[in-house]
Structure 1
């Protein structure tokens, strides 16, 4: 038996993008922010490989670190603006697992 009869199955969080036409803007925002977060993480990993590879100068490493921190701060700001959490950006891809 359902513990909360006022919450329908469609309203319960599933970890997936909402396809509700009335919430299309929210779903699109969530999807775009997820893609941006995924790209940010990929850039960060690539930057770490370059740093560990030793092919950057100390100045380049510092600039890269500052750029990555600014990007992370901007993502946090955007998540706050759109009322999203880290969990909201970690979309469930079904049998493939979570995106991030």
Structure 2
């Protein structure tokens, strides 16, 4: 959990799943990111995406509590991982204004 009066994300906050490593192996699901901030801004990304390989891992979970959101919502991702045999399902992104 990150708790701050202000968080400027110009890089990446990530909790992505790992990739599989072998014939028909599954990939890891994305993890969890929890932010409790007054102001969230920046040009970076927040990601909890599933890993990619033969079978994609599911997306993770992101929870953001904020007073002011100065970051476009498409920069906050919990996508399913790409897979040669099956794609992982999307995770969840929960944005809550305090």
Band of TM-score, shorter chain: under 0.3
The answer to which structure has the higher strand fraction is 2
The answer to which structure has the higher helix fraction is 1
Give the alignment's TM-score, normalised by structure 2.
0.27
Greater relative CO, 1 or 2 (CA 8 Å, sep 6+): 1
Which protein is bigger by CA-based radius of gyration? 1
Give the alignment's TM-score, normalised by structure 1.
0.27
